[in-house]
Amino acid sequence: MNRLFPLLVACLLCTCVRAQMTNAADRGEAYGAGPYSQLILRGVTLINGNLAPPIGPVDIVIEDNRIVSVNTVGFPGMPIEADGRPELRPGGREIDAEGMYALPGFIDMHGHTGGRAQGTTPDYVYKLWLGHGITTIREPGSFNGLDWTLEHKRRSAANEIAAPRIQAYTGFGMGRAEPFTTTEEVRQWVRENQEKGSDGIKFFGARPDLMQAALEENKRLGLRSAMHHAQMNVGRWNVLNSARAGLTTMEHWYGLPEALFEDRRVQDYPVDYNYQNEDHRFTEAGNLWQQAAEPYSDHWNAVMDTLLALDFTINPTFNIYDANRDIMRARNADWHEEYTLPSLMRFYAPSRVSHGSYWHHWGTEQEVNWKTNYTLWMTFVNEYKNRGGRVTAGSDSGYIYQLYGFGYIRELELLREAGFHPLEVIQAATLSGAEALGMEDRIGTIEPGKLADIVLVAENPLADFKVLYGTGATRLTEDNQVTTTEGIRYTIKDGIVYDAIKLRAAVRDMVAEAKAR
């Protein structure tokens, strides 16, 4: 086991509070119903995950947990003709969705379930995710314990709890009392990880021969992988090494600028730098992209071409470092008052021991550097997408003032800022994530044969992603009254129709109760 791993577990992820999940609310009965023998979404405009332009009105027919058909039923602005519309069978349900928009269920490729350090329970996190249209999450590391995560995965699949579908990745080395010393130990652990039912492995880095062995064995077994290229090992093993060895997705951006170095081998650390001091770590990380090769230079292009040829996936998680560009904005976001638990706000606050709370003396200079960092980072990611590379959406919420669900919608806005067309943003949030997970035959688009994971929203998200936030988007009426949009109306997961407004109201109640205590 990598000696850094226990530290990362302790500092980053912690052990989650085990919530009781046996009452009706946890099963979702207070918030949704289904699946139905037949469910028809009537007259909706479809925004799919395959880059097709919106089309509507359509009727979407679902039976149990499968999409059966998508039927055009007229023309925009014209009355819908009843003739030829799918007929509702006895015992079925229909939703009048005229004027609404349907999208595939969102996939959060970096969804930690929270833990004791943040004072969050799974029920709180799951409601925020479902309340923001997230129907599938990849749990990157399962640091509440693999057995715990697999049990939640099972219960979600059986619809015993109101929760997104879960893909469980295991932190590299989890369960070992001693560090890895040989490649055979690594290969044996990877085989045992598969036998336990894990969907993949989350890496932070290790000695190069151990990384090579782990990724090769994991790929041979047909499992997926993710990696945060932590600075403790990135000097000898960057994104190019990982991709060539079989890594399927990279998290954040660490390891990519290092692959783009031309005039150095190591980040320009100050002589008094200490990685365990997160003020040092994140201040200097804001200078990293400026040390990499110039955009569109020969070396920059060569690194990109190599990753493209390997069908490598980038999961940037722009949102999780967004506070570094404007701490006051992040600290005072609209949703904190009603949706963020007081324990979580305390966890976010400046601290020398809480991960991601590195605001020891964060100011204008750090924010300016991080804005430049983002410009270069986004340039690479957008061009990677333009050249056919796969980019997905992930949030890593629960840290750095990013809240579950809300942070994911912020990620969509930041992909748009990076240069993605709104339809490309939706593709990153749906089909691209499904492909990265090897689940594109089941989820990621709304089409016959796929699972019934659908988001229904009353306003056009392509025109304004803010309408997807649980707090809605601010609008001014003709009579000069300030209003807000209602956010996502329904989240359909596994054919179960969840009332997203009720889910979010339940979270507000949790927060109000916590404040009252």
pLDDT reported for residue 266: 94
pLDDT reported for residue 448: 98
- The highest-level CATH class for domain 32-103+449-516 is mainly beta
| Burial degree of 225 (CB within 10 A; 0-12, 13-18, 19+) | buried
In whole angstroms, what is the distance from residue 453 CA to residue 67 CA?
9
Q: Is 484 helix (H, G, I), strand (E, B) or coil?
A: strand
Query: What is the C-alpha R_g of the chain?
Result: 23
User: Quick one: how far is CA 56 from the chain centroid?
Assistant: 28
Burial 131-145 (b: 16+ CB within 10 A, else e): bbbbbbbbbbbbbbe
The tokens for 263 are: 């005039």
| Burial degree of 185 (CB within 10 A; 0-12, 13-18, 19+) | middle
Q: Which one-letter amino acid corresponds to residue 406?
A: F
Contact 372, 321 (CB under 8 A): no
pLDDT reported for residue 4: 44
pLDDT reported for residue 20: 33
The upper half-sphere exposure of residue 374, i.e. CA atoms within 13 Å in the direction of its Cβ, equals 22
Instruction: Tell me the three-class secondary structure of 197-239, residue by residue.
Output: CCCEEEECCCCHHHHHHHHHHHHHCCCEEEECCCHHHHCCCCH
User: Which residues, listed in sequence order, are joined to residue 390 by a DSSP beta bridge?
Assistant: 313
Residues of the chain scoring pLDDT < 70: 1-29
Does CATH number 1.10.287.3510 belong to domain 4-23+105-437?
no
Contacts of 378 (CB under 8 A, 6+ apart): 318, 414, 417, 418, 419
Residue span(s) of the chain under CATH 2.30.40.10 come to: 32-103+449-516
Q: Helices then strands (H, E): number in the chain? A: 19, 19
Contact 204, 2 (CB under 8 A): yes
pLDDT reported for residue 84: 83
The structure tokens 């300016």 sit at 368
The total number of residues written for the chain in this structure: 517
pLDDT reported for residue 342: 96
Closest C-alpha to 257, from 307, 230, 293 = 293
> Can the peptide bond before residue 448 be classed as cis, meaning omega within 30 degrees of 0?
no
pLDDT reported for residue 499: 97
pLDDT reported for residue 143: 84
pLDDT reported for residue 25: 45
Residue span(s) of the chain under CATH 3.20.20.140 come to: 4-23+105-437
Annotate 303-341 with DSSP letters as a single string: HHHHHHHTT-EEE--GGGGGGGG-HHHHHT-TTHHHHS-
| Burial degree of 470 (CB within 10 A; 0-12, 13-18, 19+) | buried
Contact 115, 17 (CB under 8 A): yes
Closest C-alpha to 393, from 201, 166, 114, 134 = 134
The tokens for 339 are: 């949706």
